[in-house]
Structures are given as C-alpha cells and as structure tokens.
Amino acid sequence: MPDPIVLVLTQEFDVTADCVVRILNERGVRVFRYDTSRFPRSSTLTTRSTGTGWHTTLVDSTYGRRSVRLEAVTSVWYRRPAPFTTDPAPQQAHRECAVKESAHAVGGIFTAFPARWVNLPAVELRARYKPLQLKVAREAGLRIPKTLITNDPEEVPRFHRECGTPIVYQTLDSGLPHGPGGRPRGLPTIVPHDLSPDVLSRLRYSPCVFQELIDKAYELRITVIGGKFFTVRVDDTDDEGGPPADSRGFPGTARYTRVPLPDETEKGLRRLMDSFGLAYGAIDIAVDRAGEHHFLKMDPAGQFAWLDDEVPGLDLAGAMADYLSGTSD
C-alpha cells in the first residue's frame, strides 16, 4: 500500500487546518497544503493523457517552488478553500472568465482522481442547503423545530400565532464570512421582539428561516469524522441567566463537557450523514427541558479547533488526521 499523501485545500490562515497539518507532519505523513486563492495567479496545473493513464501536476510558486502529483494523493481535505484569483492586469470581463475556467479545470481534474475526500465539493454544496437539511433530518427520524421559510411578510404573523411560542429567525447561510479556522462566526439566531410591518417589510429583500423558539436546557455540538461521533454539551447563559437562543452570541461564557449521545439520536444523524454522503459534519442540536433533541443545523465544513481547546482529551484534530492518513475508517 503506498504511503499516504494528504492534499489540504484551504486558506492561508486557518487555525483548524493548522492543528491537523501539524499532527500529520509529526507523524511523518506527507502533506501538501494549498491556498486555492493562488490559482491561477501563482500556480500551474497540468494534466496529460499517457499510454498508462493520466499524469497531473500541481505547482505552487508563491513561496519558492512546490509540486505534487495528484494521482499519488490518497486523501483530500476540502477545508473551506479560498476563491481563485487571477492577475489584476486583464480587464474585468477577462478576469471573470479566467476564474470560471479555473473552477472548471480544478473541479474537473481534482475530482477525477481516486482519493478519500472530506468532503467532495458537490456533496458539500448540496449538504449546505438548510431547507434540504431540515427535510432530510425529518425523514431520518430526527425532531426539528416548527419551521417557516419565506420572503412573504404576511406569512410570519400567521406562523407566530400557530407556534404559540416566541419565534426566532436566522439566515439561510452564514450571513457573514467565516473566520479563519477559529470559533464559528455568522449572524446569530435572533429572537424578534417587534413584528411590526416596518420590520416584516424587510423580508422582501431576502427570505429568512423562522422557527419556534425551543425552550432549551442546553445545546449539543456533535462533530462527525469518518463515522465517529464526538458529542459536546454546551451550557451557556445570557444576561438574564437563561440559555441564549444562540451560544455564538456569548463567546467565552459557555461551559463545554463531553457527553454520550442517545442511541436514537445517533441513528438518525447517521442516516442524515449517509443521505448526503458526508465524511465530516458539525451538527447543532437543542435539548429542551423535557430531554427531547431538536436538530437545528449542520455545517459540512464546520470549525472544530476551538472545541479541542475547551474539552481536554477530545482530540478532534487527531481524529481528522487519522481519517485523512487512512489509519481509521
């Protein structure tokens, strides 16, 4: 069996990638970490057909000259790669065309060779759709909050009355750029205190996700790596002493504890992961005061370095290194 070669497609600054790459280097595993924003500006990608197959080489000339033969790569970590960038000299239309051509070349060439992907780009893109996540989660036997997705202002008050509880809203995507590898970033879940026409009229600009507010006791952050589940309980309080709608809004106040995951919840999450074909995912679940588990969302490229800092012995970085190097299934 050939020695593992791990290709990490990421940004220049990424704390989560740093942790895993360091472990792989310590184990003597060859790693080619690549900032995709360097293509095609300071990198070349060449593939040619031969009598025995294909020969493909990626060369990065940003800081000296580094190269890797892609057919020799055994694992690829699609770790939040940066957008492609081109030489600033061409006109805007030419730059846009160059970026599109680069995406076709890289996507077509990289995904053509056999390797273990975490996760395949097309698989990850599909799994990011929050409406689809909620539908698949429900079909997998998981409980989800009552949900409304709309850009019709008249639908929200009706949904609010049907819930009979406070409602929350959040974006369909992150809403803000992700930070480079640290704690999760994005627009937190909001509990609207004002459903006046002025507020609701803003829906016309963009659809939002509205859900019943779960009277939660705590949250679970579940990290899945190659079929292994790592469950962390998140206890947090807001300014009034109760659990906040979204613990991301209160950094530094949470308590993190590793806990077991109920069998039925794990079975449902396995069905969810299998439905999407994901090798990795970061899942958020709210546990209400009756002990019921409510699936909230999944990030197929979620951060995890901060959890290793908070929970001694969790070692998510080590588990990812195991999976990428082929020492675990």
pLDDT digits (tens, 9 = 90+) for 251-303: 457 899 999 999 999 999 999 999 999 999 999 999 999 999 999 999 999 99
Identify the helix (H) or strand (E) that includes residue 221: strand 216-225
CA distance 234 to 224: 17
Give CA torsion, residues 89, 94, 98, 104, to 10 deg.
170
Cα of first residue to Cα of last residue in the chain, in angstroms, is: 15
Reduced to 3 states, what is the DSSP secondary structure of residue 234? Answer: strand
Domain over 5-118 is classified CATH 3.40.50: yes
Angle value at C-alpha 327, between 2 and 65, nearest 5 degrees:
55
**β-sheet bridge partners, residue 233:** 220, 257
- Alpha helix stretches (DSSP H) within the chain: 15-26, 92-110, 121-127, 130-139, 155-163, 197-200, 263-276, 305-310, 316-325
pLDDT of 242 strictly over 60: no
Give the per-residue pLDDT at 201.
Answer: 79
pTM of the model: 0.88
Mean pLDDT of 21-37: 97
CA distance 19 to 323: 14
Give the per-residue pLDDT at 253.
Answer: 74
Mean pLDDT of 85-106: 87
Give the per-residue pLDDT at 248.
Answer: 46
- Sole residue written with tokens 């901060």: 306
CA distance 326 to 270: 21
Reduced to 3 states, what is the DSSP secondary structure of residue 175? Answer: coil
Contact 308, 258 (CB under 8 A): no
Kindly give, in sequence order, each residue whose CB lies less than 8 Å from that of residue 253, ignoring residues fewer than 6 positions away.
236, 237
Residue 279 burial (CB < 10 Å; 0-12/13-18/19+)? Answer: buried
Half-sphere exposure of 310 (CA within 13 A, CB side): 20
Structure tokens at 308: 């290793």
pLDDT digits (tens, 9 = 90+) for 168-188: 888 887 544 445 555 555 555
Contact 46, 67 (CB under 8 A): no
Contact 28, 39 (CB under 8 A): no
Say which range, 5-9, 143-147, 181-185, 247-251, has the weakest mean pLDDT. Answer: 247-251
Say which range, 245-254, 264-273, 314-323, has the weakest mean pLDDT. Answer: 245-254
| Domain boundaries for CATH 3.40.50 within the chain | 5-118
pLDDT of 124 strictly over 50: yes
| Domain boundaries for CATH 3.30.470.20 within the chain | 124-325
CA distance 123 to 137: 16
Give the per-residue pLDDT at 177.
Answer: 46
CATH number assigned to the domain with residue range 124-325, chosen from the 4 options 3.30.470.20, 1.10.357.10, 3.40.190.10, 3.40.30.10: 3.30.470.20
Give the per-residue pLDDT at 217.
Answer: 96
